[in-house]
């Protein structure tokens, strides 16, 4: 579906910024690699910070590595209307994941300023630090930091090169000694709006440019270590082996079957990272470390799948003569968008597009997930080609991005001019 509606935002400026940001950490012809708290991530943050300042925002990097641009409202004491997303990427990522949410938010607020509209409350545009979680194996760091939700030991997590998050954060310009001072007080944030590519195939299949998000699935991230005993691959008889990789393979297969076990359910399960020790062709694997990502919008179903999975782990370890440990990295319940903000988005989308957009849940988590615990939130999805994301082939059409940013702008104006948040 297409629309010939006129835009309020400056679409050329928006696309120029998307393309310029994509050149930082460029991977091949279309991909990007801007790992959280890396030199490339900092270069991108400083670029966006400059654009924020050009737009008239007061911009800063806080103690958690978040980039925050602020526009004062008529009443600085009112709860903040916050917009944004992230610009860090996966190691094999695309140009649009997170980036259109930050740059679309900046474009929306810059348009507000250029049109001479002063909001009732302060508005902040935020590029949150380390949404992806791929470098230190735990995401949503910046948003959880600013809302007081960090867990013990997070700064000591190491990346693949042995660099701790503390070391990377200090090099980035963050400062753990200022964590308490930079946390937002309860009630300081009134509402949060996030624009994001869908990262799934629903809108593309429906040939619709935009969608309204109803809620975010609850993600469970586990790291499992299975330990057996190394031996010569040519001499140890099969019945006498304690092969950690064989046990792991059983768990991986079972996870896939469990996620598919209820027809039509949105349950998903993935093993995305696996390390084998000693990783030699002719040595029986002694230790395997692997990740589990299990998600569902229905928490009772997800809890049941986790119970079944842990039974499989126990059975696989027993059958293969292994021991194992499980570390819980992330465990969040499903979170639903605020009805009253969805209603505003729905009305503005009807005016913008001429029809009511499809409403859908989000399988991936976003910064909105963490913010949902401290304020009302809503999300707008932009169609991405074939549902591809976390891949250099990720693509969102310029017109779809423009429509998403325009809908974000119109929703923001409604809230900024007195719509209750």
Give the rounded distance of the alpha carbon of 337 from its chain centre: 16
Task: Provide the CB-side half-sphere exposure for 141 (13 A, CA).
Answer: 33
Each residue's pLDDT expressed in tens, for the chain with a length of 421 residues: 555 578 999 999 999 999 999 999 999 999 999 999 999 999 999 999 999 999 999 999 999 999 999 999 999 999 999 999 999 999 999 999 999 999 999 999 999 999 999 999 999 999 999 999 999 989 999 999 999 999 999 999 999 999 999 999 999 999 999 999 999 999 999 999 999 999 999 999 999 999 999 999 988 999 999 999 999 999 999 999 999 999 999 999 999 999 999 999 999 999 999 999 999 999 999 999 999 999 999 999 999 999 999 999 999 999 999 999 999 988 989 999 999 999 999 999 999 999 999 999 998 889 999 999 999 999 999 999 999 999 999 999 999 999 999 999 999 999 998 754 4
**Residue 2 falls within a domain, yes or no?**
no
98 and 222 inside one domain: no
104 and 201 inside one domain: yes
Q: Are the beta carbons of 270 and 251 closer than 8 angstroms? A: no
Number of H helices, E strands in the chain: 12, 16
Q: How many residues does the chain have?
A: 421
Give the rounded distance of the alpha carbon of 192 from its chain centre: 15
Q: Is 251 helix (H, G, I), strand (E, B) or coil?
A: helix
Domain boundary among 331, 352, 371: 331
Q: Count of CB atoms within 10 A of residue 125's CB?
A: 29
pTM of the model as a whole: 0.86
Question: Domain range spanning residue 64?
Answer: 11-216+334-416
Rounded Cα–Cα distance for residues 95 and 18 (Å): 8
**Which residues is 197 bridged to in the sheet?**
382
In this prediction, residue 419 carries a pLDDT of: 58
CATH number at residue 264: 3.30.70.360
**Residue 132 falls within a domain, yes or no?**
yes
**Residue 3 falls within a domain, yes or no?**
no
Q: Is 387 helix (H, G, I), strand (E, B) or coil?
A: helix
237 and 366 inside one domain: no
Q: Are the beta carbons of 379 and 98 closer than 8 angstroms? A: no
Kindly report the three-state secondary structure assignment for every residue of 46-97: HHHHHHHHHHCCEEEECCCCCEEEEECCCCCCCCEEEEEEECCCCCCECCCC
How are beta strands 80-86 and 123-128 bridged, if at all?
parallel
Task: Tell me which residue of 218, 183, 217 sits closest to 200, measured CA to CA.
Answer: 217
In this prediction, residue 330 carries a pLDDT of: 86
**Which residues is 360 bridged to in the sheet?**
213
In this prediction, residue 421 carries a pLDDT of: 42
Report the binding-site residues for Zn(2+): 86, 97, 132, 196, 390
**Residue 1 falls within a domain, yes or no?**
no
Q: Are the beta carbons of 218 and 334 closer than 8 angstroms? A: yes
Domain boundary among 331, 365, 389: 331
Rounded Cα–Cα distance for residues 71 and 274 (Å): 45
281 and 387 inside one domain: no
**Residue 379 falls within a domain, yes or no?**
yes
Rounded Cα–Cα distance for residues 22 and 223 (Å): 31
Q: How many domains does the chain have?
A: 2
- CA dist 366 to 28, 182, 325, 379, Å? 26, 21, 28, 10
How many Å is the maximal CA-CA distance in the chain?
Answer: 79
- CA dist 111 to 4, 108, 224, Å? 20, 5, 48
259 and 314 inside one domain: yes
Q: Is 249 helix (H, G, I), strand (E, B) or coil?
A: helix
**Residue 225 falls within a domain, yes or no?**
yes
132 and 52 inside one domain: yes
In this prediction, residue 292 carries a pLDDT of: 98
71-90: b (≥16 Cβ within 10 Å) or e:
bebeeeeebbbbbbbbbbbb
**Residue 4 falls within a domain, yes or no?**
no
173 and 290 inside one domain: no
CATH number at residue 65: 3.40.630.10
Domain boundary among 311, 331, 351: 331
**Residue 362 falls within a domain, yes or no?**
yes
49 and 172 inside one domain: yes
Rounded Cα–Cα distance for residues 93 and 390 (Å): 5
153 and 254 inside one domain: no
66 and 144 inside one domain: yes
101 and 222 inside one domain: no
Rounded Cα–Cα distance for residues 397 and 354 (Å): 19
What is the torsion angle, in degrees rounded to the nearest 10, for the CA atoms of residue 257, residue 259, residue 264 and residue 267?
180
- CA dist 285 to 30, 62, 134, 241, 242, Å? 37, 44, 25, 10, 8
Rounded Cα–Cα distance for residues 67 and 260 (Å): 40
186 and 234 inside one domain: no
Report the binding-site residues: 86, 97, 132, 196, 390
The residue assigned the tokens 């031996």 is: 231
């Amino acid at each position: 579906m297409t629309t010939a509606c006129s835009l309020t935002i400056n679409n050329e400026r928006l696309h120029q910024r998307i393309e310029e940001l994509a050149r930082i950490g460029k991977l091949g012809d279309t991909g990007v690699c801007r790992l959280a708290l890396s030199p490339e991530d900092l270069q991108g943050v400083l670029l966006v910070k400059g654009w924020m300042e050009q737009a008239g925002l007061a911009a800063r990097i806080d103690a958690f590595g978040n980039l925050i641009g602020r526009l004062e409202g008529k009443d600085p004491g009112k709860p903040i209307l916050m917009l944004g997303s992230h610009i860090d990427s996966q190691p094999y990522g695309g140009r649009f994941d997170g980036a259109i949410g930050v740059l679309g938010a900046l474009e929306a607020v810059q348009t507000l300023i250029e049109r001479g509209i002063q909001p009732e409350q302060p508005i902040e545009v935020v590029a949150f630090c380390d949404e992806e979680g791929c470098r230190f194996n735990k995401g949503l760091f910046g948003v959880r930091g600013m809302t007081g939700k960090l867990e013990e030991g997070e700064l000591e997590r190491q990346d693949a090169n042995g660099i701790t998050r503390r070391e990377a954060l200090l090099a980035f310009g963050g400062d753990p000694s200022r964590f308490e001072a930079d946390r937002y007080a309860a009630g300081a944030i009134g509402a949060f709006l996030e624009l994001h590519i869908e990262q799934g195939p629903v809108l593309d299949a429906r040939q619709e440019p935009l969608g309204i998000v109803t809620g975010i699935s609850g993600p469970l991230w586990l790291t499992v270590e299975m330990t057996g005993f190394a031996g010569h691959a040519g001499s140890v008889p099969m019945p006498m082996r304690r092969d950690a990789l064989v046990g792991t393979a059983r768990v991986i297969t079972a996870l896939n079957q469990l996620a598919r076990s209820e027809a039509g359910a949105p349950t998903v399960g993935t093993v995305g990272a696996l390390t084998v020790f000693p990783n030699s062709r002719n040595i029986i694997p002694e230790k395997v470390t692997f990740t589990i990502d299990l998600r569902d919008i229905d928490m009772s179903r997800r809890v049941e799948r986790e119970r079944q999975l842990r039974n499989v782990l126990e059975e696989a370890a027993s059958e293969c003569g292994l021991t194992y440990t499980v570390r819980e990295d992330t465990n969040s319940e499903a979170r639903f968008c605020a009805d009253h903000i969805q209603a505003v988005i729905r009305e503005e989308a009807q005016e913008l597009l001429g029809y009511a957009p499809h409403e859908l849940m989000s399988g991936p988590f976003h910064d909105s997930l963490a913010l949902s615990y401290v304020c009302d939130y809503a999300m707008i999805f932009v169609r991405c080609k074939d549902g591809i994301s976390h891949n250099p082939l990720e693509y969102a059409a310029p017109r779809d991005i423009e429509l998403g940013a325009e809908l974000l702008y119109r929703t923001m104006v409604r809230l900024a001019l007195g719509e209750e948040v």
